[in-house]
Amino acid sequence: MLDRYFRLREHGTTVATELVAGLTTFMVMAYIIFVNPAILSFAGIPALQPQGVPFAPTLAATCLVAAIATALMGLVTNYPWPSRPGWGSTPWSPSS
């Protein structure tokens, strides 16, 4: 079923290869799970602490949005592109 939907054979890959690639990509990007909420909640700056968003809900939102966006990218476009908060660092943005 997965092979037929994603045309894996046509792209020269297998389900096992794609699972390993997905796990590897997750491990490389996992830092964002903690870095994004820390930045958004002004962690480490006591004077700004009450002004930031709470850490736990931001962590949950970061995980949910990244999971949904990545799943949609794969299911809708059939393109293996992970989505995560990038703070403006997209690979297709022109460099100044």
Structure confidence at residue 16 (pLDDT): 92
Does residue 93 fall inside a structural domain? no
Number of other residues whose CB lies within 10 A of the CB of residue 22:
14
Residues 74 and 80: beta-carbon distance below 8 Å: yes
pTM: 0.67
User: Do the domain assignments include residue 92?
Assistant: no
Task: State the pLDDT at residue 96.
Answer: 45
Does residue 24 contact residue 42 with C-beta atoms inside 8 Å?
A: no
Is the alpha carbon torsion for 81, 76, 86, 68 positive or negative? negative
- Block means of pLDDT (10 residues each) for the chain, length 96 residues? 84 89 86 84 72 85 87 84 65 50
- Number of domains the chain is built from: 1
Residue 12 belongs to what domain range?
2-77
End-to-end CA separation in angstroms for the chain: 44
In a domain, 82, yes or no: no
| Residue 45 counted as domain residue | yes
Residue 86 lies in a domain: no
Query: Is 88 inside a domain boundary?
Result: no
Q: Answer yes or no: is 85 within a domain.
A: no
Give dist(CA 56, CA 43) in Å, integer: 12
> Residue 60 falls within a domain, yes or no?
yes
